[in-house]
Amino acid sequence: MDMMLDIVHEELENSIRIKDRYKKAFFKLPKGSLSKKIIDGHEYYYLAYWAPSKKVKTRYLGKLSEAQIQKYQDKIRKRREYKKLIKQAEEQIKFYQKVLKYGRKDTIR
């Protein structure tokens, strides 16, 4: 049983490391969504996101080329993927913690 708990403990540590890596990558990417406004026939782009004050904030990006627009959309999509991966890693961590908690109780008997 101790060997199994050691393996679970290793997996717990791996999951924590992976979650930390995901979080670092997550925070490097832009949050929010890309919005386009047409003013006097010209397209201008903004990054709209929720601020901690529970208000929608916008950051002016300017006129963007198609390549730049695609780059921002890819980064925003990647950030959403990382958010899902972080949540999955947190669920794994909780599971491994429960296994370790109850596994130790069983070995005490």
Query: What is the tally of structural domains in the chain?
Result: 1
Q: Is the pLDDT of residue 107 over 60?
A: no
DSSP code per residue over 20-82: HHHHHHHHHSPPSEEEEEEETTEEEEEEEEE-TTS-EEEEEEES--HHHHHHHHHHHHHHHHH
**Residue numbers of the domain that contains 43:** 2-108
pTM strictly above 0.75 = yes
For residues 60 and 52, give the distance between their C-alpha atoms in angstroms, rounded to a whole number.
19
Digit-coded pLDDT (tens) for 31-63: 999 999 999 999 999 999 998 888 999 999 999
Q: What percent of the chain has pLDDT over 90?
A: 79
